[in-house]
Structure formats: C-alpha cells, structure tokens
Amino acid sequence: MEIREKTLSNEKIYDGKIMKIHKDTVELPNGNQAFREIVEHSGGVCVLPLTDCRNIILVEQFRYPFAKAILEIPAGKLELAERHNPLECGKRELFEETGYHAKEFVSLGEFYPTPAYCTEVIHMYLAKGLYVENAHNNDLTPQNHLDDDEFLNVIKLPVSKILEMILGGEIPDGKTQAAVLKSKVLGHFSDVV
C-alpha cells in the first residue's frame, strides 16, 4: 500500500529558541484530510565516551520536563551551521561537557527519538582513546565553556555497571540506551569487558 501524506496547508504556531511548532493539514492515502502537529528541531549529537580503563563517562543533568536529574551520555543540539558536520558538534560537546578529547570517533548511526511528531535526528558516536589536554592527571575532567544555562555533574562508571543499569531500567534516556546497547552488540566493549 502507498502510504504517502500530502501537505495541503501549514499553520505556524510558535517560533522559539530550540523548537518551531506548526500544524499542517494533510491529505491521507484515502483522500481524507487530517492534521499533523509538528515540532521542528535542528537535530542533535550524542557521544558515548569509552575510556581505556573500561569506564564510560556520563553526565548527570537536571531535565526540566521530568523535574529530576538523570544520567545520560554527553549530547548537544546541532547548530544550523553544523548541520552537515555532526561529528564536529560531537567533538565540541564531549569537550565542553566532560573536558575530554578523543583520538577516535566511530559512527553508531542515526536515532530518531520521536518520528511521529518531531523532526529531530540524533547522530550517535562512540569516542575512544580519551585524553585531557595539558593534564598531569587523567582523572581531571575540567568542564569547559558550558552553555550559560547548563549545569551538570560528570560521572565515570564501569561499562559493566552501565549495562547492568540499562538492563535493569535505571537509565531511561533513549539515546544512552541505544548507543550503549549498539556498542555492546557490535563488540566495541569486547576488549574491555
């Protein structure tokens, strides 16, 4: 069955800082009409930072929609100028949020968080060979240039512990689940766990 929907008209609802909202009238495959409420988002990048010592670096961040702090891998919003270079955004977010650079980045593919109503695509990467510039002690992870409204704690946990937490339902963040589980099934942890 051909299941395409055709845009008939577009009503702008909101033009904000991180999202635009519009409500479109569409023609359905059967010729009837329906509405689609759409969140436009510029997309994002997430990075799974894997240390040489069997740890993953997470950030603990207050997530206002849930009124609590949750654990996630480092991530950020793609600026318009970065749309065609998500890896640069990933390198920047990793450094800004954790203080780490990485020698190697491996693409883990794309992640559509809510394809029913939002245009956001998250580009996922695994980062290996982590290092801190000019540091005498690699346990130092100075955060750099966080956004003005961004506050977070950096937390280092063993890969085995994070897998246990994900399988036990203790890490609800979707991109973190996908990036960690995909790395596990792809064998990226096989030399460390």
Determine the angle formed by the axes of helices 159-167 and 174-186, rounding to 10 degrees: 120
Contact between 185 and a copy of itself by CB under 8 A: the answer reads: yes
Q: Among 118, 132, 157, 192, which residue interacts with a copy of itself (rule: CB under 8 A)?
A: 118
Between residues 42 and 101, which has the closer beta carbon with respect to a copy of itself? 42
**To which residue do tokens 């203080």 refer?**
99
Between residues 104 and 110, which has the closer beta carbon with respect to a copy of itself? 110
- As a whole number of angstroms, the distance between CA 193 and CA 188 comes to 9
Residue 146 CB, shortest distance to a copy of itself, in Å, is 11
The gap between the terminal CA atoms of the chain, to the nearest Å, is 46
Q: How many CB atoms lie within 10 A of CB 36?
A: 14
The number of C-alpha atoms within 13 Å of 53 and in the hemisphere containing its C-beta is: 6
Site for a copy of itself in 164-183 (CB under 8 A): 166-169, 172-175, 177-178, 181-182
Q: Among 38, 78, 102, 130, which residue interacts with a copy of itself (rule: CB under 8 A)?
A: 38
The site that binds a copy of itself (CB under 8 A) totals a number of residues, namely 71
Contact between 193 and a copy of itself by CB under 8 A: the answer reads: no
Site for a copy of itself in 67-106 (CB under 8 A): 69-70, 72
Look up residue 141 and give its two tokens.
């992870």
Contact between 28 and a copy of itself by CB under 8 A: the answer reads: yes
Are 173 and 162 within 8 A, CB to CB? no
Look up residue 167 and give its two tokens.
């399988």
Residue 91 CB, shortest distance to a copy of itself, in Å, is 20
